[in-house]
């Protein structure tokens, strides 16, 4: 699953049969989509956002408060005006869009350490022009604290509207239903071992996830979308890149931005507007969601 991206970053197809033990519109390079997944249940992932450029899906994103979305920095072209982007909230089938889910963009804040030729700090915050009204299908995701950790092998979920099928080569067919796939986290040392000569590109702000010998992962078009873990569905990762980005020739685990590494930055930029992983209100909401899934 992954979408088109407006950034010049030239890749990010996540073609990842990964290691487990340690545990629509084809978009421009730098996007990925879900491979080996299944149709999600409508309303199951209420924070999922479709990032659109001139009305076309290019990336995923996650709603983190009434007026903020988090996505990947490479999804946004700084040379384009904010007006070309819109955030589609509460969507399920992109071919059957909701009539009231589109939000205009007021501000796009890419992390100051992000560079187009690297996956480091591949995170951006998008401020909406108006706060959204929460509904059964539009809700913010909980954020982890800066010290939050999950063990290798933890089963997490990736969602999006990106490419599907073997090698991420197939576009998501109409009605373009939101896809979901469960993947285990892979510890960094094991992940680096599988990247071989490219292991130096896996930085401290990244995490890896995937399944050994099974083609289940995010693909182009899924970039910027959520990787959620735990019973409370914390936003642990943001779909970023993978094998095709660094031109390695062997299957390797998918790379995600580790959200906890940017927890403080997110709070600073949004002025504390993002829900905390430890907020009673958020935990109550998570509990309600679990009982209805």
List the catalytic residues.
74, 122, 223
Question: Residue 57 in contact with residue 26, Cβ under 8 Å?
Answer: no
Quick count: other Cβ atoms within 10 Å of Cβ 154?
16
End-to-end CA, the chain: 22
Tokens linked to 78: 């700084």
Angle at 37 between CA 179 and CA 9, to 5 degrees: 70
């Amino acid at each position: 699953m992954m979408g088109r991206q407006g950034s010049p970053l030239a890749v990010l197809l996540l073609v990842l049969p990964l290691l487990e033990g340690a545990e629509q519109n084809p978009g421009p390079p730098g996007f990925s989509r879900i491979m080996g997944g299944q149709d999600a249940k409508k309303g199951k992932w209420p924070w999922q956002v479709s990032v659109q450029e001139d009305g076309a899906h290019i990336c995923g994103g996650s709603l983190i408060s009434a007026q903020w979305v988090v996505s990947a920095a490479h999804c946004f072209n700084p040379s384009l005006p904010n007006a070309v982007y819109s955030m589609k909230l509460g969507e399920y089938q992109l071919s059957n869009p909701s009539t009231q889910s589109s939000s205009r963009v007021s501000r796009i804040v890419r992390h100051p350490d992000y560079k187009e030729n690297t996956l480091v700090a591949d995170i951006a915050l998008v401020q909406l022009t108006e706060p959204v009204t929460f509904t059964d299908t539009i809700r913010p995701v909980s954020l982890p604290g800066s010290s939050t950790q999950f063990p290798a092998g933890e089963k997490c979920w990736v969602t999006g509207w990106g490419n599907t099928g073997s090698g991420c080569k197939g576009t998501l067919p109409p009605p373009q239903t939101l896809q979901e796939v469960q993947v285990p986290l892979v510890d960094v040392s094991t992940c680096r071992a599988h990247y071989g000569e490219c292991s130096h590109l896996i930085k401290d702000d990244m995490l890896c996830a995937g399944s050994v010998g099974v083609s289940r992962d995010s693909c182009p078009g899924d970039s910027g979308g959520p990787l959620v873990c735990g019973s409370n569905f914390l936003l642990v990762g943001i779909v970023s890149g993978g094998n095709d980005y660094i031109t390695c020739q062997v299957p390797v685990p998918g790379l995600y931005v580790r959200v906890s590494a940017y927890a403080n930055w997110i709070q600073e930029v949004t002025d504390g507007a993002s829900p905390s992983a430890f907020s009673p209100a958020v935990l109550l909401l998570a509990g309600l969601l679990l009982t209805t899934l």
